[in-house]
Amino acid sequence: MPVTTIGRSLILNGELQGKDGLSVQGIVKGKIEIDNIITVEKGAVIKADIKSKDVQIAGEVKGNISASGYVHYMEDCTVIGNTTTARILIADGASIKGSVHIDI
């Protein structure tokens, strides 16, 4: 599966849509809809609602998350917003402020 990377020095404002995977190392503000997996790398900042199949978060997300597959809150991530997903993984050290809804 191809993955598009938003590098550490990039700031994206607006709506982002796509079918392939997405790796975010920089800053994204707005709205994200990806049909595959989104990886929020350590040091990345997302100020947007996320809709995707799977979401892995090692950085910071301020916005609501909707995943049809799973959401993985990795160690030292920070999430402020509500999450709706079918499966969830939460590592020790993850910081979550908001509700989590498991939608099977």
The token duo for 101 is 């809804």
Q: Is there a contact between 104 and 87 (Cβ–Cβ < 8 Å)?
A: no
Q: What is the mean pLDDT of the segment spanning 39-47?
A: 98
Residue 2 confidence (pLDDT) = 79
pLDDT digits (tens, 9 = 90+) for 68-77: 999 999 999 9
Report the domain count for the chain: 1
Q: Please tell me the predicted confidence (pLDDT) of residue 103.
A: 85
Inter-residue contact 28 to 60 (CB < 8 Å): no
- What's the mean pLDDT in 35-62? 98
Q: Which domain holds residue 29?
A: 3-102
Residue 84 burial (10 A CB sphere; 0-12, 13-18, 19+): middle
Residue 57's pLDDT is: 98
Q: How confident is the model at residue 104 (pLDDT cuts 50, 70, 90)?
A: confident
Residue 62 above 90 pLDDT?
Answer: yes
Residue 11: how many CB atoms within 10 A of its CB? 10
Q: Which helix H or strand E contains 79, and what residues bound it?
A: strand 78-80
pTM of the entire predicted model: 0.94
> At CA 79, angle to CA 75 and CA 81, rounded to 5?
155
